[in-house]
Amino acid sequence: MFDQERGLVAQGCRVAAARGLVDGVLGHLSLRVDDERLLVRCRSDTDTGVAFTRPADVRLVMFDGTAGAAGELDGYRVPNELPIHVETLLANPAHRAVAHLHPPAVVAADLAGITLRPIYGAYDIPGVWLARGGVPVYERAVLIRNSALGKEMVAAMRGRAVVILRGHGITSAAATVQQAVLQAISLNELARMSLRVRAAGGALRDIDDADWDDLPDLGPSLNTDAAWRHEVARLDG
């Protein structure tokens, strides 16, 4: 049941790890399958880390954290921060996938007081659109392990696709696993570039307002499909 979807979530975990957005056993992805259940990367006593996620590590669970079908949690535990996924999915029906990751450049830039802004344009069009108007920040550095904290985080997200969790990581939400992970990659690249500019002694400046009209959405065939093929190819490279 849901073999293809489990494989996609596992692949998303491996892509995120290959891009350095998670390390060790921390971080997880999910995909909503119906009104009450989601597939989520779970942990076991033989877990070797997010970079080595298998489809079998992606389990079907109810929104309350119980097994979504017989045997789904045999030998597995849901993430402590399952409320990140549940509250994000409940807040916006358009979001079917959630990536909770720990991208180091994003964490470092935020702790350094660097606000992520649209400092470049065609270098990464989807990424710069993520940053237009600023990237929201949830200012608590806590483990989001209950629904109250999950709702706080969602409120800080302000309906946006991504939110920075101060001293912690990020949450990225989208219609697909691919989009959720690609958004995280773009956000980390924006943070990495911001840190490099500041380290070189430069000042961060938003692109000109007049440039936005010439930064079009080039469509999912490039922004998602081709980009994801590249990420998967990197795994095999």
Catalytic residues: 81
* Angle between helical axes of 227-236 and 3-18 (0-180°, round to 10): 80
Residues 6+ apart with CB under 8 A from 216: 125
The answer to whether residues 165 and 171 touch, using CB atoms and an 8 Å cutoff, is yes
**What is the Cα–Cα distance from 217 to 83, expressed in whole angstroms?**
32
CA-angle at 108, arms to 142 and 128, nearest 5°: 105
Q: Which residue matches tokens 């270098």?
A: 123
- Angstrom CA distances, 92 to 42, 98, 117, 130, 160, stand at 23, 11, 24, 17, 10
59 vs 51: CA distance, rounded Å: 17
Give the Cα separation of 226 and 80 in Å (integer): 34
Task: Look at the block and give the residue holding tokens 């549940």.
Answer: 86
